[in-house]
Amino acid sequence: MNEVRSVTGAATSAATTHRRTRITVRGMALGDFVLQNGTLLIVIAVLALIAGVFWVVLASSMPTIHQFGWQFLTNQAFDPDHNSFGVGPAIFGTIVTSVFALVFAAPLGIGAAVFLVEFCPRRARTSLAFFTDLLATVPSVVFGLWGFLVLAPWMQHSGEPWLKLHLGFLPFFVGTPRGVGLLTAGMILTVMILPLVIAIAREVMQIVPNEQREALLALGATRWEVVRYAILPFARVGITGGVILALGRALGETIAVTLVIGNQANKISPDLFATGYTLPSVIANQFGEATPGLFRSAVIEAGLILIVMTLIVNVLARLLIARMGRHHRVGGLVA
Amino acid sequence: MSTPLPFAAPQTAATTRRAVVNGVAIAFTTSASLFAIAVFLVIILYVLGQGGQYINLDFFTQLSPPPGQSGGGVGPAIQGSFVLLGLASLFGIPLGLFAGIYLAEFGRTSNFATIVRFFIDVLTGIPTIIFGLFAWVLIVVPSHSFSAYAGGVALGIIMIPIVTRTTEEILRLVPTELREAALALGVPEWRTLLQVILPSVSRGLITGLLLALTRIAGETAPLLLTAFGNSFWNDGLNHAIDALPLRIYNFAQSPFPVQVHQAYAGAFVLIILLVLTSFGVRLATGGFRQSVR
């Protein structure tokens, strides 16, 4: 209330100090004209900057695009000595680790969100929600540090040998336990995208009108049936969008993955113990040595492919989330 | 159970099954949240516990010791982080702020504004290493030198969508009556905006900027290709510069225990910074919403 009063005060003083100006441009006061068109210019500058990012990356990838064409996507060598470049293993590693993360983070995250929105005691709800939102902002280098120094050694000595012993009949757990590799990278990614899935699923479910819940409860439904028949059908599109958004995050995660994936390309196989590369980790590892010419262009084209992949995933996610209603910009600050 | 209420539904196999499904669902979702929270507590508390032991004044002010010796700190990284945040703010805040003002005040529901919003949302989804790559190609490669400028540009681009979005959302919370009151008094639109609307949401705007700064304070990937890192004090914005996340990344892989300890201490600082701003922002926005609505 105080704030409103002081602001009305400001309005009055603004009115009294304002000299009536005669300068107009196209029927607008000069100030209005400057403000409106000035901010419009800034918006155009931002759009130009976005276009510039795409353009610079595309233009600088041209040497390898001309040289290798589509083979760049499948070639398994990244060999500066023989000028043979390709990102087959990196695309494979990117997809395997991200899909791995999604397979585990999606059910866990949606389950946790259902609990937070529908089942959690009211008193704990806000603080738990605050905590999960906080986790979405923990920098990836922190996860990388922990993954490299704690998780990877543990996986090498306990986790992977255990999996090999008990699940070794599966083609996923057959190689030499190294600690670093696709499996550890996938696990770190799972942890990292989990808060994002929780946050978006939670936001979407909160949009569901309370009448829906009450109507179903009045019919004698159990709490789960309310979720199953009133909440999830309503929120499904938005939750799917959120999960895809999390996939986009996983595809582009650089630092944590680079620290735990081993950065050594292997023959493409279902073995999750194998070390590998992802597109971002190729960039992070190779740019330092990248000599001008094909080598540099190859590093940049890895970025180009990453942009294309994340762009497709993000546009899809945004369209799905937008269908949840124009008035709710779901995703807030974490997305 | 012994004396069923007259209006209670009869217990049949179907109702029992429904009750069991209900119980299983609640048990699964509860354990999913507990699991998620436990995993994070394990990670965060471990890093905090390791890092907390090595925090002292030297950590913030001294150079890191030569390999094999103890003591010292990550002074250049602290210096560099401040410099980079400053440069990024110079670049990202004006662009983000004014773009947000345009969207909230002039664009509103126009098709152009919808398209702009879409692209800005897309910008948040682009992996941050891409902006590092962009600044690397555009600034580092032509100038043959890693630089604070390049790092600032890369981080600044990351700030833009965050600042734009919070600015727009906050401006939309301002009640129409406030605007109408000023306009009715004959104040032109631009003065209404600058002297009435913006001051009334200043706390929210600062919150948005803080969130953006916290976000980029922990960014590592784009700095790898631009600021690169530097073990010594930075001696010019067109030279390589260190940053706390970069230092953590490099020291995490170090064979020397002292450096690994300092990596943990750096992560400790980042997490504490994050928790403090999150709490601050929560307090500020809580108060903010109450006073506006």
Question: Residue A310 sits in a domain of what CATH number?
Answer: 1.10.3720.10
* 3-state secondary structure (DSSP) of residue B238: coil
What is the predicted pLDDT for the residue at B284?
A: 73
Which one is predicted more confidently, A326 or B243? B243
Answer yes or no: are the C-beta atoms of B55 and B269 closer than 8 Å: yes
Asked whether residue A107 carries a pLDDT value surpassing 90, the answer given is yes
At residue A17 the predicted structure's pLDDT band, cuts being 50, 70 and 90, is low
Specify the range with the lowest mean pLDDT, choosing from A95-99, A289-293, B46-50.
A289-293
Considering the domain architecture, whether residues A252 and A159 belong to the same structural domain is answered as yes
Residue A290, pLDDT score: 87
pLDDT band at B270 (very low <50, low <70, confident <90, very high): very high
User: B179 vs A289, A303, B154, CA distance in Å?
Assistant: 57, 46, 37
Chain A residues with CB-CB distance to B193 below 8 A: 35
- Please indicate, yes or no, whether residues A52 and A136 belong to a single structural domain of this protein: no
Q: How far is B272 from chain A (nearest CA, A)?
A: 10
Which residues of chain A lie closer than 8 angstroms to B210, CB-CB? none
Cβ distance A225 to B249 less than 8 Å, yes or no, reads no
Domain B75-292: CATH superfamily, name plus number:
MetI-like (1.10.3720.10)
**Element spanning B213, H or E:** helix B202-217
Distance from CA of A145 to the nearest CA of B (A): 6
Quick check: A157 and A269 in contact, CB under 8 A? no
Structure-model confidence comparison of residues A7 and B141, the more confident one:
B141
Option in A31, A142, A220 nearest B188 (CB)? A31
Contact A53 B126 (CB under 8 A): yes
Do residues A25 and A153 both lie within one domain? no
- Quote the CA–CA distance of A305 and A311 in Å, as a whole number: 10
Mutate to test the interface with A, among B7, B93, B98 (most CBs of A within 10 A): B98
Average pLDDT, whole number, for chain B? 88
Interval A302-315 mean pLDDT: 94
* Nearest CB to B187; choose among A11, A49, A280: A11
- If asked whether residues A111 and A166 sit together in one domain, one would say yes
Minimum mean pLDDT range among A325-334, B97-106, B192-201 = A325-334
Q: Which residue has the tokens 């950590």?
A: B59
Stretch 41-80 of chain B: residues touching chain A, C-beta under 8 Å = 43-44, 46-47
CB spacing of A31 vs B199 below 8 angstroms: no
HEC letters along chain A: CHHHHHHHHHHHHHHHHCCCCCCEECCEEHHHHHHHHHHHHHHHHHHHHHHHHHHHHHHHCHHHHHHHCCHHHHCCCEEHHHCEECCHHHHHHHHHHHHHHHHHHHHHHHHHHHHHHHHCCHHHHHHHHHHHHHHCCCCHHHHHHHHHHHHHHHHHHHHHHHHHHHHCCCCCCCCCCCCCCHHHHHHHHHHHHHHHHHHHHHHHHHHCCHHHHHHHHHCCCCHHHHHHHHHHHHHHHHHHHHHHHHHHHHHHCCHHHHHHCECCCCCCCCCCCCCECCHHHHHHHHCCCCCCCHHHHHHHHHHHHHHHHHHHHHHHHHHHHHCCCCCCCCCCCCC
Residue A166 has pLDDT above 50, yes or no: yes
Contacts A39 to B, Cβ<8 Å = 98-99, 101-102, 105-106
| Model confidence at B9: pLDDT above 80 | no
Return residues 112-131 of B near A (CB < 8 Å). 116, 118-131
Cβ-based burial of B155 (10 A; exposed 0-12, middle 13-18, buried ≥19): buried
Task: Flag whether residue B30 sits within 8 Å of chain A, measured between CB atoms.
Answer: yes
Average pLDDT of the residues in A164-193? 91
Those residues with Cβ within 8 angstroms of residue B195's Cβ, 6 or more apart along the chain or in another chain:
A10, A11, A13, A14, B187
Give the ipTM of the model, two decimals please: 0.89
- pLDDT(B117) > 60: yes
Q: What percent of chain A has pLDDT over 70?
A: 90
Confidence at residue A11, expressed as pLDDT on a 0 to 100 scale: 58
Judged against a pLDDT cut of 70, whether residue A332 lies above it is answered with no
Give the best residue of B43, B44, B244 to mutate against chain A (max A CB count within 10 A).
B43
More confident residue, B203 or B81: B81
Please say if the pLDDT value at position A334 is more than 50: no
For chain B, positions 208-237, list CB contacts with chain A under 8 A.
211, 214-215, 217-221, 224-225
A107, A119, A318 ranked by CB distance to B30: nearest? A119
Q: Looking at the DSSP assignment, which residues form a beta bridge with residue B241?
A: B228
Where does residue A292 rank: exposed (0-12), middle (13-18), buried (19+ CB within 10 A)?
exposed
> Quick one: pLDDT at residue A15?
56
B137:A56 CB<8 A:
yes
Length of chain B: 293
> In this complex, do A43 and B99 lie within 8 Å of one another by their Cβ atoms?
yes
Assess whether pLDDT exceeds 80 at residue A9: no
pLDDT of residue B107: 82
Handedness of CA B245, B248, B252, B255 (dihedral sign): positive
pLDDT of residue A331: 47
Please check whether residues A132 and A195 belong to one and the same domain: yes
Provide the pLDDT confidence category of residue A335 given band limits of 50, 70 and 90.
very low
Strands A28-29 and A84-85: unpaired
B196 vs A11, A34, A107: nearest CB: A11
Quote the pLDDT of residue A6: 56
Number of Cβ atoms within 10 Å of the Cβ of B249: 28
Residues of chain B contacting A191 with CB distance shorter than 8 Å: 39-40, 43
Question: Does residue A310 belong to any structural domain of this protein?
Answer: yes
A-chain residue closest to B46, CA distance: A146
Question: A274: domain range?
Answer: 75-322
User: What mean pLDDT comes out for the span A9-34?
Assistant: 67
Domain-located, residue A70: no
B209-245 core/surface letters (b: 16 or more CB in 10 A; e: else) = bbbbbbbbbbbbbbbbbbbbbbeeebeeeebbbbbbb
What is the reported pLDDT for B204? Answer: 85
Q: Which residues in chain A are closer than 8 Å to B225, comparing Cβ atoms?
A: 283-284, 287
Mean pLDDT value across residues A4-11: 56
What mean pLDDT do residues B134-159 have?
95
**Residue given tokens 């030297």 in the structure block:** B58
Give exposure, B98-132, as e/b (b: 16+ Cβ within 10 Å). bbbbbbbbbbeeeeebeebbeebbbbbbbbbbbbb
Q: Among A35, A46, A317, whose Cβ lies nearest the Cβ of B95?
A: A46
Q: Is the pLDDT of residue A192 over 70?
A: yes
In the predicted model, what is the mean pLDDT of chain A? 87
d(CA B168, CA B208): 10
A7 — pLDDT class (breaks 50, 70, 90): low
Give the count of domains, chain A: 2
User: Sorting pLDDT into bands at 50, 70 and 90, what band is B2?
Assistant: low
Mean pLDDT of the B90-108 span = 92
For the segment A213-227, the average pLDDT, to the nearest whole number, is 90
The mean per-residue pLDDT over the stretch B90-117 comes to 91
- Who contacts A247 (Cβ-Cβ below 8 Å, separation ≥6)? A98, A99, A102, A193, A313, A317
Q: What is the pLDDT of residue A22?
A: 60
Q: What is the pLDDT of residue B291?
A: 37
Query: Residue B50's pLDDT band (boundaries 50, 70, 90)?
Result: very high
Count chain A–chain B contacts defined by CB atoms under 8 A: 307
Q: What is the mean pLDDT of residues B98-127?
A: 89
Mutate to test the interface with A, among B7, B31, B33 (most CBs of A within 10 A): B33
Among chain A residues, CA nearest to B154: A53
Question: Hey, are the CB atoms on B99 and A46 less than 8 Å from each other?
Answer: yes
Confidence band of B264 (pLDDT split at 50, 70, 90): very high
Q: Is the pLDDT of residue A212 over 90?
A: no
Can you give the pLDDT at residue B102? Answer: 93
Q: How far is B62 from chain A (nearest CA, A)?
A: 22
Q: What is the pLDDT of residue A129?
A: 84
The candidate with the shortest Cα–Cα distance to A239, out of A107, A133, A96, A124, is A107
Mean pLDDT value of segment B121-143: 93
A159-177 average pLDDT score: 88
Secondary structure letter of residue B63 according to DSSP: P
Average pLDDT over residues A130-148: 91
Examine the domain organization and report whether A267 and A205 are in the same domain: yes
| Statement: residue A98 has pLDDT above 90 | yes
Residues B277, B211: contact at Cβ < 8 Å?
A: yes
Sorted by sequence, the CB contacts under 8 Å of residue B275 that are 6+ apart come out as: A134
For the beta carbon of residue A214, count every other beta carbon within 10 angstroms: 12
Mean pLDDT confidence for B211-235: 92
Does A207 have pLDDT greater than 90? no
Sequence-ordered list of residues with C-beta below 8 angstroms from that of B62, at least 6 positions apart, any chain = B71, B72, B73, B75
Per domain, the residue ranges of chain B are 75-292
Of B116, B129, B141, the CB nearest to A43: B116
Residue contact B200–A315, C-beta within 8 A: no
Q: Is A264 contained in some domain?
A: yes
The answer to whether B40 contacts A3, with C-beta atoms less than 8 Å apart, is no
Q: What is the pLDDT of residue A333?
A: 41
